[in-house]
Amino acid sequence: MNARPEPARSGHPSVAPPALRLVRPQPADPVRTPWTARVLIALTAIQGIGGLIGMAILLTNLHGTPELPVSSLHAFGLHSYLIPALVLGLPLGIGALVAAYGLWRRPAWRWTDPLVRWTREHWSWVAAVAIASGVLALIALEVLLTPIRSPLQWIFGTVGVLMAATVALPSVRRRYSER
Protein backbone atom coordinates (compact mmCIF):
# COMPACT_ATOMS: atom_id res chain seq x y z
CA MET A 1 0.00 0.00 0.00
CA ASN A 2 1.50 3.32 -1.10
CA ALA A 3 0.81 6.15 1.33
CA ARG A 4 1.29 9.49 -0.30
CA PRO A 5 -0.24 12.83 0.55
CA GLU A 6 -3.37 13.56 -1.37
CA PRO A 7 -3.16 16.73 -3.43
CA ALA A 8 -5.56 19.56 -2.73
CA ARG A 9 -8.42 20.08 -5.15
CA SER A 10 -6.48 22.68 -7.10
CA GLY A 11 -3.76 20.13 -7.85
CA HIS A 12 -1.21 21.62 -5.42
CA PRO A 13 -0.03 19.82 -2.33
CA SER A 14 -2.23 20.58 0.67
CA VAL A 15 0.73 21.79 2.70
CA ALA A 16 2.76 24.80 1.60
CA PRO A 17 6.54 24.52 1.55
CA PRO A 18 8.15 25.68 4.83
CA ALA A 19 9.48 28.89 3.26
CA LEU A 20 5.95 29.99 2.29
CA ARG A 21 4.14 29.24 5.54
CA LEU A 22 3.07 32.17 7.66
CA VAL A 23 4.83 31.97 10.98
CA ARG A 24 2.62 33.18 13.79
CA PRO A 25 3.22 32.83 17.51
CA GLN A 26 1.34 29.91 18.90
CA PRO A 27 -1.05 30.31 21.83
CA ALA A 28 0.82 30.57 25.09
CA ASP A 29 1.80 27.17 26.40
CA PRO A 30 0.87 27.02 30.11
CA VAL A 31 3.89 24.81 30.78
CA ARG A 32 6.27 27.41 29.32
CA THR A 33 4.49 30.54 30.52
CA PRO A 34 6.27 31.72 33.65
CA TRP A 35 4.08 32.27 36.68
CA THR A 36 5.10 35.93 36.64
CA ALA A 37 3.57 36.33 33.17
CA ARG A 38 0.38 34.66 34.43
CA VAL A 39 0.28 37.16 37.29
CA LEU A 40 0.62 40.01 34.77
CA ILE A 41 -2.21 38.57 32.67
CA ALA A 42 -4.45 38.31 35.76
CA LEU A 43 -3.62 41.83 36.97
CA THR A 44 -4.27 43.28 33.52
CA ALA A 45 -7.62 41.47 33.30
CA ILE A 46 -8.58 42.67 36.81
CA GLN A 47 -7.76 46.23 35.76
CA GLY A 48 -9.86 45.83 32.62
CA ILE A 49 -12.88 44.55 34.49
CA GLY A 50 -12.48 47.26 37.12
CA GLY A 51 -12.23 49.92 34.43
CA LEU A 52 -15.46 48.77 32.79
CA ILE A 53 -17.29 48.63 36.13
CA GLY A 54 -15.97 52.08 37.01
CA MET A 55 -17.17 53.42 33.67
CA ALA A 56 -20.63 51.94 34.21
CA ILE A 57 -20.88 53.46 37.69
CA LEU A 58 -19.78 56.89 36.51
CA LEU A 59 -22.06 56.83 33.47
CA THR A 60 -25.06 56.05 35.67
CA ASN A 61 -24.11 58.94 37.97
CA LEU A 62 -22.89 61.56 35.51
CA HIS A 63 -23.75 64.44 37.82
CA GLY A 64 -22.26 62.92 40.94
CA THR A 65 -23.37 61.37 44.18
CA PRO A 66 -22.75 62.38 47.79
CA GLU A 67 -19.61 60.18 47.74
CA LEU A 68 -18.51 61.49 44.32
CA PRO A 69 -19.43 65.16 44.17
CA VAL A 70 -19.21 66.64 40.69
CA SER A 71 -17.79 69.80 42.29
CA SER A 72 -14.48 67.93 42.72
CA LEU A 73 -14.12 67.99 38.92
CA HIS A 74 -14.58 71.74 38.53
CA ALA A 75 -10.84 72.33 38.99
CA PHE A 76 -10.33 70.36 35.76
CA GLY A 77 -13.01 72.30 33.88
CA LEU A 78 -15.39 69.33 33.93
CA HIS A 79 -19.05 69.51 34.89
CA SER A 80 -19.93 65.82 34.68
CA TYR A 81 -18.28 62.42 35.03
CA LEU A 82 -18.50 61.68 31.28
CA ILE A 83 -14.78 62.24 30.49
CA PRO A 84 -13.54 60.33 33.59
CA ALA A 85 -15.96 57.50 32.71
CA LEU A 86 -14.58 57.28 29.18
CA VAL A 87 -10.99 57.34 30.48
CA LEU A 88 -11.80 54.47 32.84
CA GLY A 89 -13.78 52.47 30.32
CA LEU A 90 -11.85 52.80 27.09
CA PRO A 91 -8.08 52.67 27.70
CA LEU A 92 -8.15 51.31 31.26
CA GLY A 93 -11.11 48.97 30.69
CA ILE A 94 -11.38 47.73 27.11
CA GLY A 95 -7.72 48.48 26.40
CA ALA A 96 -6.63 46.48 29.43
CA LEU A 97 -8.80 43.52 28.41
CA VAL A 98 -7.34 43.58 24.88
CA ALA A 99 -3.85 43.72 26.42
CA ALA A 100 -4.67 40.80 28.74
CA TYR A 101 -5.82 38.79 25.71
CA GLY A 102 -2.59 39.72 23.92
CA LEU A 103 -0.47 38.74 26.90
CA TRP A 104 -2.28 35.41 27.08
CA ARG A 105 -2.47 34.45 23.39
CA ARG A 106 0.34 36.60 21.92
CA PRO A 107 -1.36 37.22 18.57
CA ALA A 108 0.70 38.84 15.84
CA TRP A 109 -1.40 41.57 14.27
CA ARG A 110 0.12 43.36 11.29
CA TRP A 111 -1.03 46.78 12.46
CA THR A 112 1.15 46.36 15.57
CA ASP A 113 4.31 45.58 13.55
CA PRO A 114 5.73 49.15 13.70
CA LEU A 115 5.42 49.14 17.51
CA VAL A 116 7.05 45.71 17.75
CA ARG A 117 9.93 46.80 15.48
CA TRP A 118 10.42 49.98 17.51
CA THR A 119 10.32 48.38 20.99
CA ARG A 120 11.42 44.83 20.17
CA GLU A 121 8.73 43.68 22.58
CA HIS A 122 5.36 42.10 21.91
CA TRP A 123 2.70 44.81 21.56
CA SER A 124 0.76 43.46 24.56
CA TRP A 125 3.76 44.00 26.85
CA VAL A 126 3.97 47.62 25.70
CA ALA A 127 0.22 47.97 26.28
CA ALA A 128 0.59 46.56 29.80
CA VAL A 129 3.32 49.12 30.55
CA ALA A 130 1.07 51.92 29.25
CA ILE A 131 -1.93 50.70 31.25
CA ALA A 132 0.09 50.38 34.47
CA SER A 133 1.40 53.91 33.92
CA GLY A 134 -2.10 55.20 33.20
CA VAL A 135 -3.55 53.63 36.33
CA LEU A 136 -0.79 55.08 38.51
CA ALA A 137 -1.18 58.53 36.92
CA LEU A 138 -4.97 58.48 37.38
CA ILE A 139 -4.71 57.43 41.03
CA ALA A 140 -2.05 60.10 41.67
CA LEU A 141 -4.29 62.77 40.09
CA GLU A 142 -7.27 61.67 42.18
CA VAL A 143 -5.34 61.64 45.44
CA LEU A 144 -3.39 64.84 44.87
CA LEU A 145 -5.98 67.02 43.17
CA THR A 146 -9.43 65.92 44.35
CA PRO A 147 -11.02 65.43 47.77
CA ILE A 148 -12.32 62.01 46.69
CA ARG A 149 -11.03 59.16 48.86
CA SER A 150 -12.05 55.57 48.33
CA PRO A 151 -10.74 52.09 49.16
CA LEU A 152 -10.84 51.49 45.40
CA GLN A 153 -7.95 53.94 45.04
CA TRP A 154 -5.86 51.69 47.27
CA ILE A 155 -6.99 48.54 45.48
CA PHE A 156 -6.36 49.78 41.94
CA GLY A 157 -3.27 51.70 43.01
CA THR A 158 -1.91 48.37 44.24
CA VAL A 159 -2.91 46.71 40.95
CA GLY A 160 -1.03 49.46 39.06
CA VAL A 161 2.09 49.12 41.22
CA LEU A 162 2.06 45.32 40.88
CA MET A 163 1.60 45.59 37.10
CA ALA A 164 4.49 48.07 36.87
CA ALA A 165 6.71 45.79 38.94
CA THR A 166 5.70 42.64 37.06
CA VAL A 167 6.33 43.99 33.55
CA ALA A 168 9.90 44.82 34.62
CA LEU A 169 10.75 41.28 35.78
CA PRO A 170 13.35 39.48 33.61
CA SER A 171 11.14 36.39 33.17
CA VAL A 172 8.29 38.56 31.86
CA ARG A 173 10.61 40.55 29.60
CA ARG A 174 11.97 37.29 28.13
CA ARG A 175 8.45 35.97 27.59
CA TYR A 176 7.38 38.98 25.52
CA SER A 177 10.69 39.81 23.85
CA GLU A 178 10.56 39.86 20.04
CA ARG A 179 14.34 39.88 19.53
Q: Is residue 82 part of a domain?
A: yes
Quote the pTM value.
0.79
Q: Is residue 158 part of a domain?
A: yes
Instruction: Give how many domains the chain has, as a whole number.
Output: 1
Q: Is residue 69 part of a domain?
A: yes
pLDDT score at 24: 52
Three-state secondary structure along the chain?
CCCCCCCCCCCCCCCCCHHHCCCCCCCCCCCCCCHHHHHHHHHHHHHHHHHHHHHHHHHHCCCCCCCCCHHHHHHHCCCCCHHHHHHHHHHHHHHHHHHHHHHHHCCCCHHHHHHHHHHCECHHHHHHHHHHHHHHHHHHHHHHHCCCCCHHHHHHHHHHHHHHHHHCCHHHHHHHECC
Which tens digit of pLDDT belongs to each residue from 116-160?
999 999 999 999 999 999 999 999 998 888 888 889 999 999 999
Q: Is residue 20 part of a domain?
A: no
Q: Give the domain range for residue 70.
A: 32-176
Q: Which residue has the higher pLDDT, 129 or 109?
A: 129
Q: Is residue 118 part of a domain?
A: yes
Q: Is residue 8 part of a domain?
A: no
Q: Is residue 11 part of a domain?
A: no
The whole-chain average pLDDT of the chain stands at: 86
pLDDT score at 23: 46
Q: Is residue 2 part of a domain?
A: no
